[in-house]
Amino acid sequence: MRHLCFLLFLLFFCAGSEAATLKKTTYITRAAQKNEPELKIRYTHSPSAVDLDSVCDNYPYRSIDYRNCRTAARALFREKCAAATAAFYATRTFDQVRSRERDKWCDAGVQFQP
């Protein structure tokens, strides 16, 4: 019986920790500036944070596309911050999920340096 309880505990603990560290890689296509070609902005994020080291890692480091991608990513994070902030305040009640989403994008918008 002890072994069964221990196995169930491990199964529950491991499944919970996997869900908490679940990361997702996202691609968004947009131009860094008007009249410039579109770039694929790639970044990895979890429910609570954006991995800033992963932003635009699909381009060679220090290339022009890498620089333009990171400039576009900063604008994207700030836009997502504004949208998440508006959604958070539109509910007029404290919503932990919307709060975490707002914090994720606003932190990325402030901390990310192209």
| Sequence spans of domains, the chain | 21-111
Q: What is the 3-state secondary structure (H, E, C) of the chain?
A: CHHHHHHHHHHHHHHHHHHHCCCEEEEEEEECCCCCCEEEEEEEECCCCEEHHHCCCCCCCCCHHHHHHHHHHHHHHHHHHHHHHHHHHHCCCCCHHHHHHHHHHHHHHHHCCC
Q: What is the pLDDT of residues 58-77, one digit of tens each?
A: 999 989 999 999 999 999 99
Crossing angle of helices 64-90 and 96-111, rounded to 10°: 150
User: Quick check: pTM over 0.75?
Assistant: no
Predicted confidence at residue 32, as pLDDT, reads: 66
Predicted confidence at residue 35, as pLDDT, reads: 76
Report CA-CA distances (Å) from 112 to 6, 53, 92, 104: 43, 9, 29, 12
Q: What is the pLDDT of residues 3-57, one digit of tens each?
A: 434 433 443 444 444 444 678 888 878 766 677 778 899 999 998 899 999 999 9
88 is written with which tokens?
């958070």
